[in-house]
Amino acid sequence: MSAETQIKETVTNNDVVLFMKGTKEMPQCGFSSRVAGVLNFMGVDFADVNVLADDELRQGIKDYSDWPTIPQLYVKGEFVGGCDIVTEMTLSGELDTLFAENEVAFSKEAADKIREANA
């Protein structure tokens, strides 16, 4: 299976997907750790894809999204962004809205705690 086919299937078959360095239990870079930490703290059920395990996949996701960096977050098949964008969306409340509009379960209380801690 090609990397592109694998990526399409993954983002189609999972509501929330994080292409990252490492896993959600053991991130292998600070940016991946930050995004996985936000999603874990907010109680979001997400699929994690370790791009370090497959060089073709690592380059494939960059080509697929036309985005040069990892991590990359997808919600309902749509590319959301990387670490900086996810961080900004979390702090502004846009991530809450995105999850709510797409019927993705998350803890609003946890999201509010993140914003309070960063106010």
Residues of the binding site for [2Fe-2S] cluster: 29
Q: Give the residue-averaged pLDDT of 68-84.
A: 97
Q: Predicted confidence band at 1 (pLDDT cuts at 50, 70, 90)? A: confident
pTM assigned to the model? 0.96
3-state secondary structure string across the chain: CCHHHHHHHHHHHCCEEEEECECCCCECCHHHHHHHHHHHHCCCCCEEEEHHHCHHHHHHHHHHHCCCCCCEEEECCEEEECHHHHHHHHHHCHHHHHHHHCCCCCCHHHHHHHHHHCC
Ordered structural domains, the chain, with CATH = 3-117 (3.40.30.10)
- Give the model confidence (pLDDT) of 89-108 as tens digits: 999 999 999 999 999 999 99
CB 17 within 8 A of CB 73: yes
Which residues are known binding-site members? 29
Mean pLDDT, rounded, for 61-90: 97
Q: What confidence tens digit (pLDDT) does each residue in 25-63 have?
A: 999 999 999 999 999 999 999 999 999 999 999 999 999
